[in-house]
Homo-oligomer: A and B are copies of this chain.
Amino acid sequence: MREAMREAEIAGSYGEVPIGAVVVREGEIIARGHNMREMWKDPTAHAELIAIREAARVTGGWRLTGCQLYVTLEPCPMCAGTVLLSRVDEVIIGAMDPKGGAVGSKVNFVETDDWNHRPTVIRGVLAEECSLMLKDFFRKLRRK
Contacts from A to B (Cβ < 8 Å): 37-38, 41-45, 49, 52-53, 56-57, 60-64, 76-82, 84-87, 100, 102, 106-107, 109, 114-115
Contacts and interface: CB of A to CB of B under 8 A. Distances in A.
Contact of A81 (B63, B81, B114): B81
B77 A43 contact: no
B76 A81 contact: yes
Contact of A43 (B43, B80, B86, B114): B86
15 contacts: A37-B62, A41-B57, A42-B56, A43-B56, A43-B62, A44-B52, A44-B82, A44-B85, A77-B77, A77-B81, A78-B85, A79-B81, A81-B82, A81-B102, A107-B109
Contacts of A52: 43-44
Contacts of A53: 42-44
A81 B79 CA distance: 7
A53 B46 CA distance: 12
Contacts of A42: 53, 56-57, 62
A48 to B, nearest CB: 10
Best-buried of A43, A60, A63, A100 by chain B (most CB within 10 Å) = A43
